[in-house]
Amino acid sequence: MSQGSNFVDYVKICCRSGHGGAGSAHLHRDKLTAKGGPDGGDGGRGGHVIIKGNAQLWTLLHLKYRKHVIAGDGENGRLSLQTGKTGEDEILEVPLGTIAKNAETGEVLFEITQDGETKILTSGGRGGLGNWHFKSATQQTPRFAQPGEPGLEDWNILELKLLADVGLVGFPNAGKSTLLSVVSAAKPEIADYAFTTLVPNLGIVAYRNGRSFVMADIPGIIEGASKGKGLGFRFLRHIERNSVLLFMIPADTSRTIKEEYQILLHELQEYNPELIHKPRVLAITKSDLLDEELQEEIRKELPADLPAVFISSVAQRGIDQLKDLLWTEINR
């Protein structure tokens, strides 16, 4: 299986939490006590369905074929004020950047961003109270107890937004996968036709003095992606989580660099206006095709407030300069 088929960023699961155990209505009896008071214990809580962050995971693949998740029921209360056992929780481990939504309403319930962080997705039913809770001056021997609460059943969606330091933004065939393969150990599929990258590829980029940062190659944006064209929404959502956006525009583009940049920017803004506030860096790729004179001409027309660098992944040109620029922006 290629990395592509292993990358799952969306699953829909049916979660059923456990029923709470019933409280006990037991009355104390032993050799010395013929008519003792109430000593029924409480029922145990039903098991929760819990989501837990795991920094070692990067896909939801392990949950893809798990359509039903069922937590254990709580046990009934017992005599001598013994509380029933709590139902067994079902814990689903997910990569950081996973969002849980209610499948019916689309409401976002929570997001997991820390390793080891836990959140309850579907709560177990509460255990019923035993009869000793209901003892009073007027009712010395209550012969009733509470039933346990039923568990819940709901359909939920888990959706992954990649957490990366740098997200690569560009049209298909802008050289994003090639750059990732040069600066990291990631092995994305590379070919000279559009839409080679159908899933995000993650790479760890080694920097000076043993430091590193994470780069995500996000599939190419096409004009109209924000309206759901092409692979649109599926991967625009991954860009939301990146701290720096690296715009990549090839030197041999049919339009001007400025026009390409404006179109990419427009797509991001249409999808989510907040993306426009992220730090941006521009890399003009395939710059081994340009002589110095042409580079100077292009540089003059670039947006003034945008850090830009000319690179060639194939000729390994400008790569260190690009890493320096990205490191500065990440840590700004």
Q: Which of 105, 133, 160 is the last residue of a domain?
A: 160
pLDDT of 136 strictly over 80 = yes
Same domain, 268 and 195: yes
pLDDT of 87 strictly over 90 = yes
Geometric angle at alpha carbon 307, from 302 and 309, rounded to 5°: 80
By three-state DSSP, how is residue 188 classified?
A: coil
Q: What is the mean pLDDT of residues 46-52?
A: 97
pLDDT tens, residue by residue, 190-240: 444 444 445 566 777 878 887 878 887 766 555 555 565 544 455 556 666
Secondary structure E strands in 151-275:
153-160, 166-169, 201-206, 212-217, 244-250
What distance, in Å, lies between the first and last C-alpha atoms of the chain? 39
CATH number, residue 95: 2.70.210.12
CATH number, residue 180: 3.40.50.300
Q: What is the mean pLDDT of residues 96-100?
A: 91
Same domain, 287 and 222: yes
Q: Which of 113, 138, 160 is the last residue of a domain?
A: 160
pLDDT at 301: 82
Q: Quick check: 15 and 154 in contact, CB under 8 A?
A: yes
Read off the tokens for 40: 């029924």
Same domain, 176 and 133: no
Whole-model pTM: value is 0.65
pLDDT of 46 strictly over 60 = yes
Phi, psi of 249 (to 5 degrees): -130, 125
Distance (Å, rounded) from C-alpha 17 to C-alpha 73?
8
Higher model confidence: residue 129 or residue 58?
129
Bridge-partner residues for 16, per DSSP?
A: 70, 153
Same domain, 32 and 177: no
* β-pair type (201-206, 212-217): antiparallel
- Determine the number of helices (DSSP H) and then strands (DSSP E) in the chain: 6, 14
CB atoms within 10 A of CB 131: 25
Q: Which domain holds residue 53?
A: 1-160
Distance (Å, rounded) from C-alpha 144 to C-alpha 58?
51
Q: Which of 160, 177, 207 is the last residue of a domain?
A: 160
Same domain, 1 and 83: yes
Q: Which helix (H) or strand (E) holds 27?
A: none
Read off the tokens for 155: 């359909």
By three-state DSSP, how is residue 167 classified?
A: strand
As for how many domains the chain has, the answer is 2
pLDDT of 153 strictly over 60 = yes
pLDDT tens, residue by residue, 112-123: 989 999 999 999
Same domain, 94 and 212: no
Geometric angle at alpha carbon 19, from 98 and 75, rounded to 5°: 120
pLDDT at 118: 97
pLDDT tens, residue by residue, 244-299: 889 988 888 778 888 888 888 887 787 677 778 888 999 988 888 777 888 788 78
Same domain, 80 and 62: yes
How many percent of the chain have pLDDT more than 90? 35
